[in-house]
Amino acid sequence: MASQDNVSRSKAPNANDSHIALTKGALVTGITGHDGSYLTKFLLRKGYQVHGLIRRSSNYNTQRINHIYVDPHNANKARMKLHYADLSDASSLRRWLDVIKPDEVYNLAAQSHVDVSFEIPDYTADVVATGGLRLLEAVRSHMADNGRNIKYYQACSSEMFGSTPPPQSETTPFHPRSPYDASKCAAHWYTVNYREEYGLYACNRILFNHESPRRGVTRLGFAGDYMEAMWLMLQQEKPYDYVVATEGSHTVEEFLEVSFGYLGLSWKNHVEFDKR
């Protein structure tokens, strides 16, 4: 298990430390989330050393990555390490970049609940929008000071399209309808700005719904495939923005009908709805 004690030993970074392997290194925010766990597993299989940034909180939850966590004191096996940092703290982002010296940065962290974003709009904007800007600036300044190249990935959301009618593509105008949607739009345009103004290899990925055993039944597409798409974006010669989605559109009811039908059951007899 990814114990809190093991992580806390990495909370005071020193730029003279060496935390990276001879292979590629990746820095992942939101590593304990749905997408972060699948991306980490994929990168480890590719031979990466993965460093995750996590917030220190009273609710310490690493459930989605416990199956791939190795005690960092086992230097021969540990290729995933966790460090305390926060997208609201620019200094912590820059310090860890100086220590880890990653080849790729994947920004997946967010307050991602649309309804909750109406209740805490300031916090949502600070983490999702300004947090993305802080990380971009930390990457830019680290590269400028150290003469290194880093590829940057910004996770965006199909929620940014809001009420814009389908089909949607990379050129479809955004019409955000919540503080979360608007914050993701801001992070998207910050990424475009840093790519165009500073020549940063920076990509936006607008991800449509995806599903896995680690998530509730609200996303339809397989998360593992989508995480490979993330990685492929950073392996191209030039950075672009991409929409990642399945070709067809399906309702949750269709998903239930197929799943339960495979077992000869009717989903209506087994599914309860949360009216919230």
Tens digits of per-residue pLDDT, 65-94?
555 555 555 555 557 899 999 999 999 999
Catalytic site includes residue 38? no
Does the pTM surpass 0.85? The reply is: no
Long-range contacts of 185-190 (CB under 8 A, 24+ apart): 185/160, 186/125, 186/128, 186/129, 186/130, 186/132, 186/133, 187/107, 187/128, 187/129, 187/131, 187/132, 187/133, 187/154, 187/156, 188/154, 188/156, 188/160, 188/241, 190/129, 190/132, 190/133, 190/136, 190/154
* Residues 157-174, mean pLDDT to the nearest whole number: 81
Catalytic site includes residue 254? no
Tens digits of per-residue pLDDT, 95-112?
999 999 999 999 999 887
Catalytic residue among 10, 37, 157, 178: 157
Catalytic residue among 106, 180, 190, 194: 180
Catalytic residue among 84, 159, 178, 212: 159
**Which pLDDT belongs to residue 242?**
86
Catalytic site includes residue 157? yes
